[in-house]
Amino acid sequence: DTHWSRASMAKHSGLSKSTIGRIWKKFDLKPHLQDAFKLSTDPQFVAKVVDVVGLYHHPPEKAVVLCVDEKSQIQALDRSQPVLPMMPGMPERRTHDYYRHGITSLFAAFNIADGTVISALHRRHRAIEFKKFLVTIDKRVPAGLDVHLVCDNYATHNT
């Protein structure tokens, strides 16, 4: 977990700070940036990844593959005044202030074959709302097609 700066790398290597900077730039190195990741401890992880990637790359015939996710705690906002449309010589104008209408949860299913999205908004974010969303999906997918849902391990889905 050592964080390298140009000065510390120069001191450690015996090169100048400007040389270190040129090397970093040439090889697009950014040691000042950090990212995080977490490896799964699931013993079936690789098999599950292969299944999901296989669904995406080779969907079954007479089936639809949907990538399902949700976003909770979305602020439902509305402008305090209507947007004024663009006119010759005038840009579109909108107020900077808005009214808060509480929060909502967005459920969405992305069709990987054609890019369409099935979505629903719900006031709450529980298993019962997710079940209602599944009913929405069932109604929107043409009869005769199997449905394959790719979901994360969120508690709402597991219930």
DSSP secondary structure, 90-136, as one string = B--B--S-EEEEEEEEEEEEEETTT--EEEEEESS-SHHHHHHHHHH
Confidence of residue 106 (pLDDT cuts 50, 70, 90): confident
Per-residue pLDDT, 63: 93
Whole-number Å distance between alpha carbons of 51 and 65: 12
The larger pLDDT score, comparing residue 87 to residue 64, is at 64
Which of 7-11, 121-125, 138-142 has the least mean pLDDT? Answer: 121-125
When pLDDT is averaged across residues 134-144 and rounded to a whole number, the result is: 94
Which domains occur in the chain, in start order? 1-36 (no CATH), 45-158 (3.30.420)
Other CB atoms within a 10 A radius of the CB of residue 10 amount to: 17
Query: Does position 16 have pLDDT exceeding 80, yes or no?
Result: yes
pLDDT at 9: 87
pLDDT over 70, % of the chain: 94
38-77 pLDDT tens trace? 888 989 999 999 999 999 999 999 999 999 988 888 777 7
Q: Is the pLDDT of residue 1 over 60?
A: no
State the pTM of this model. 0.61
